[in-house]
Amino acid sequence: MGSATEYNRRDIFKRAAAITVLAAGSGSLLAACAGGTSSNDSKKAGEYNLKDAKNPFGVDAKKGLEVFIFDGGYGKDYLAAFAAIYAKTYPDAKIDQQADKDITGKLQPRFNAGSPPDVIDDSGNKQIKLDVLAKDKSLVDLAPLLDAPYIDDPSKKVRDVLMPGTIESGTIDGKVYNLSYAYTMWGLWFSGKLFKDNGWTVPKTWADFITICEQAKAKGIAPLAHQGKYPYYINVAILDMIAKQGGLDLMARIDKLDPTAWDDPAVKTAVEAFFQVVEKDFLLPGTNGMTHTESQTAWNQYKAVFIPSGSWLENEQLASTPADFEMTFLPMPSLPGDKLPFEAIRAGSGEPFVVPTKAKNVAGGLEFLRMMLTKEASGKFAQAANSLTCLKDGVGPDVQLKPGTKSTVVALKAAGDKVFNFQYPNTASKFDEDLQNASGELLAKRITPAEWIKRAKESATKNKSA
């Protein structure tokens, strides 16, 4: 899930000064933290009694639990609710609740010292990359959790109650290392009010989309905004068009860094179609240099019609969204010859929760994750964080949803099983960055679609062998 990487409010500035010190010391300060002593007391997977619905992992009721979450687009209010659920069963355990925007800064030294927290929501711009952690064998294989009895209905296993794609997004090299808890959808967003006022109908094809863009431009509204300082967002739109045109096979080949994937004619068709928004000058003036906050706020002020983002957008923009804005989700419009239907959307579980192998209370960590998957916890999360969770039907009718979230529920229902998700942002950090840089250049009209494809192919080749 690239999701989590992006929707935090980048508090780079606060960190900048501290980082300078580190950089000036050539990373030496950080290096000094490494190579500490290790205190490894994790269990082997076979030692769990998965038949026991009450306590499958053998939690020591007195042992403390430290939970560290990313304090980003979903806030941190849900953590207290989760802790209360854990405390109901284990009142004697002292639960240490922590939340921070800077996961790497706070936790990398602790990983290096061999004393990480028991549960981590490893998310945000300063996420410790999961592929890196998995490669180092720093994360507990979550297979026992998936095979453990489901708390609300012990006749089922945990893996049976998860949304499709959840297990896939937790998988690295064939093993499941994280529980991606928040269910996120990506696509374009628009204001229902703006559409109503102008008498536009929701575009299902790219041709219709372009028509609306032309009409908007004629009325003096910029058709498309994007978070140009972080080309992650526009990459969602471009790559979704490629996936829809080329189908799931092509997506899988891109994820595997297969360089020949970029020779597929679907890539050319999709990127050239997308490039119309640049050629026809549909972009909000200055949007290529804007942060997510600047561009999304401009969009909230009706300065632009569409903006790409994930479903955290509503929660993130709560403060600047007008009451009658009617935030609405739109899947990427279709091109002729698309292999996936218009309704197909990029969706998946984000917000990866992990249990480190060197945690002091691995059993407690796994149990905490199991409790997060109860309907009670899922509802609490939906209320506090305005987001669905990876629990199937995890949000009951008693939970009041905002317009944007409501529109995602509708879109998700329409999509059915036509849900896809790219894995490369999680599994190939460097390729992701190259692709983002290329998209930044494409949107600024400094390179052509052909050059964009060439760059993607080169990067795939380079990072495949590395």
Partner 1 sequence: MRHGKYPFIVGFLFLPILLYVGLVLWPYAQTFGYSLTDWSGQSQEMNFVGLDNYTKLLGDEVFLGALWHNLLLLAVLPVATILIALFFAFMLNVGGKGGTGGVQGVAGAAFYKVVFFFPQVLSIAILAVLWQAVYRSDGAGLANGALIELGLGDPQHPVEWLNDPNLVLWCIMGVLIWGGVGFYLVLFSAAMQSIPKDIYEAALLDGAKRGQTFFKITLPLLWETIQTAWVYLAIVAMDAFALVASMTPGRTYGGGPDHHSELMSTYLMRNFLAFGEAGYACAMGVVIFFFTLILSVVSLRVTRRERIEY
Q: Kindly list the residues in this chain that would bind partner 1 in the complex (CB under 8 A).
A: 12-14, 16-17, 19-20, 22-32, 34-36, 38, 104, 108, 111-112, 114, 125-126, 128-129, 131-133, 135-138, 228-232, 281, 284-290, 294, 298, 429-430, 432-433, 436-438, 440-441, 444, 446
Instruction: List Cα–Cα distances, 252 to 72, 150, 204, 246, in angstroms.
Output: 29, 31, 25, 10
CB of 64 to partner 1, least distance (A): 24
Nearer to partner 1, 102 or 367 (CB): 102
Q: Helix, strand or coil for residue 189?
A: strand
Structure token pair of residue 196? 């109503």
Given the structure tokens 């998310």, which residue do they identify?
123
Q: Would you say 273 and 338 are in contact if contact means Cβ atoms under 8 Å apart?
A: no
Q: How many CB atoms lie within 10 A of CB 39?
A: 10
Nearer to partner 1, 77 or 302 (CB): 302
Structure token pair of residue 109? 């030294």
CB of 360 to partner 1, least distance (A): 17
Q: Helix, strand or coil for residue 183?
A: strand
CB of 394 to partner 1, least distance (A): 31
Q: Closest Cα partner for 7 from 318, 286, 285, 278?
A: 318
CB of 353 to partner 1, least distance (A): 17
Nearer to partner 1, 29 or 409 (CB): 29
Nearer to partner 1, 55 or 104 (CB): 104
| DSSP line for 367-383 | HHHHHHTSHHHHHHHHH
Q: Would you say 66 and 117 are in contact if contact means Cβ atoms under 8 Å apart?
A: yes
Q: CA-to-CA distance for 222 and 236, rounded, in angstroms?
A: 20
Expressed in percent and rounded to 5, the helix, strand and coil fractions of the chain are: 50, 15, 35
CB of 42 to partner 1, least distance (A): 14
Nearer to partner 1, 284 or 388 (CB): 284
Nearer to partner 1, 27 or 336 (CB): 27
Q: CA-to-CA distance for 453 and 262, rounded, in angstroms?
A: 6
Nearer to partner 1, 102 or 316 (CB): 102
Q: How many CB atoms lie within 10 A of CB 456?
A: 24
Burial (CB count <10 Å: 0-12, 13-18, 19+), residue 279: exposed
Q: CA-to-CA distance for 428 and 165, rounded, in angstroms?
A: 18
CB of 230 to partner 1, least distance (A): 7
CB of 14 to partner 1, least distance (A): 6
CB of 17 to partner 1, least distance (A): 5
Nearer to partner 1, 26 or 201 (CB): 26
